[in-house]
Structure 1
């Protein structure tokens, strides 16, 4: 074999080896898909195989927030991360934003995808939807993780709802929409900066741009505001659902500089098997502020 031919052959072999090494990592990149569920067109990310984990995002974000966690979970699980109705690439023109109805959306998606029994995680608004899902369909939930916010209608929930965040929980309607139109980034900076333990270690700049663009689409800010408008009905719904305690294991992760012990205390009012963890030094944005603590905790809890 000539020397130049041998060199070309070795070079090709090296390229093939490099490609094979990259394939596991490439396999973890989630696919972007759409499905009709409960009369709503839902966008979702999907990756991996195995027992199913459903990830539900919160306000000012969408399914994109879960990508670092998806990468880890997809090694052993089938991961589904939907954009809730009114968020991201899902339908933005809906009228009902109670968390019970949003849970019905996700359950209909689970049925359409034949997911069976799931392990479900929710952050912020997503934790309210995750709780409603588990409370309405306990037979379909293996375990549940709630991440930093509160449960309307449970315990002394108005101690949080009517504290510093009174203004934005009632910030909806024609005038607020006019005020934030074209200024979505300014509005969201309040959440990303003030709800973080350190604004310099909160939601990254690239993600802020992505979320701002998503919420600047027609009807997106209105949908987000309607999520807050629904809190009073959510409180009625959750007070009724909370009368039956959840039996499945529950992990509650909270930020030391955010909801602290409050959400853990609420969780123990509605579930019998609760493990509560206050993430030291973190504010509300657990995935972004403390990934080295939060991701391993979730992977361990969901993978048992």
Structure 2
């Protein structure tokens, strides 16, 4: 990476159109980076790991025709601040609540994928007065079923074996192993989760590797995983979510998400995104846009 051009968020934002800008906000004691553009009701987009706000690049220009789109690097991600603490999803949900108010809105629609989906769910559960509607993309909020993931898969267990959940629980070692080498784990995660590997290009992967290569960035992203015990306890204390909720998932995960979201929400619909696995935003953007248009509009 040291011999390559550093890709800036300003350049990336400008590539999406003239209305998009890269900005920062101080909220809830943390400095968050976000890219926004368009006009209309606000729609906040929260990315997953190992991505950044750039995950939503294929959606943002179209969404901006009807919404003020705000794609956020969550606490510890990308150009956002990487504090030593505050990675509980309940705390990160407050980050988003305060960002919405900081931007001058009383309420906003929120969508999240991966870790961002957990934050989006926690925001709807804890701050329903702020969340107009919420979309949960291919990741339910962590619950106590995570304690049942095996350290060693049995013969015949369906992949993937989620070894990275345990790896990211370890303190200090991930940044020692991955500093300057995050492209390896980025390529691995996309490799096991993309039907079409070309959906996330070499350039896109460079953007993500640049965001995660520094030891501080690796330490921060492991913080999202190292709070899981508290996140599980917090989830158990939440009432059913009353905010209107959309779940999007691919084939094998669809039935589980439908069951889980229906049990935890009072007004839920779930749709299947075919031709994808985990990274459905980048692999099937047209299908996600259609689902968003039907739900948020």
Q: CA deviation at 1:57?
A: 0.5
Choose which of 221, 225, 228 in structure 1 pairs with 2:225.
228
Which residue pairs with 2:282 in the alignment? 288
| C-alpha separation in 2, matches of 1:165 and 1:181 | 24
Choose which of 204, 209, 218 in structure 2 pairs with 1:207.
204
Q: CA deviation at 1:240?
A: 0.6
Contact 1:264 1:276 in 2 (8 A): yes
Choose which of 237, 256, 264 in structure 2 pairs with 1:262.
256
Which residue pairs with 2:41 in the alignment? 51
Which residue pairs with 1:8 in the alignment? none
Which residue pairs with 2:184 in the alignment? 186
State yes or no: 1:101 paired with 2:91. Answer: yes
User: Which has more helix, going by share of residues?
Assistant: 1
Which residue pairs with 2:61 in the alignment? 71
Q: CA deviation at 1:191?
A: 0.9
| C-alpha separation in 1, matches of 2:162 and 2:278 | 17
Scaled by the length of structure 1, the TM-score of the pair is 0.84
Q: CA deviation at 1:224?
A: 0.8
| C-alpha separation in 2, matches of 1:227 and 1:121 | 18
Contact 1:45 1:81 in 2 (8 A): yes
Choose which of 216, 219, 244 in structure 2 pairs with 1:219.
216
Which residue pairs with 1:248 in the alignment? 243
Q: CA deviation at 1:179?
A: 1.5
Which residue pairs with 1:137 in the alignment? 127
Deviations 1:226-257 (A, max 9, x none): 1111111111011111xx22222211001225
| Cα RMSD after superposing both structures | 1.9
Deviations 1:12-42 (A, max 9, x none): xxxxxxxxxxxxx844x42111110001011
| C-alpha separation in 2, matches of 1:234 and 1:203 | 30
Distance 1:48 1:161, change over 3 A: farther
State yes or no: 1:277 paired with 2:271. Answer: yes
Contact 1:287 1:294 in 2 (8 A): yes
Contact 1:43 1:89 in 2 (8 A): yes
Structure showing greater Rg: 1
| C-alpha separation in 2, matches of 1:88 and 1:161 | 31
Deviations 1:180-213 (A, max 9, x none): 1222111122211112234x24422211010001
Distance 1:161 1:41, change over 3 A: farther
Choose which of 160, 169, 191 in structure 1 pairs with 2:165.
169
Aligned residues: 273
| C-alpha separation in 2, matches of 1:53 and 1:35 | 17
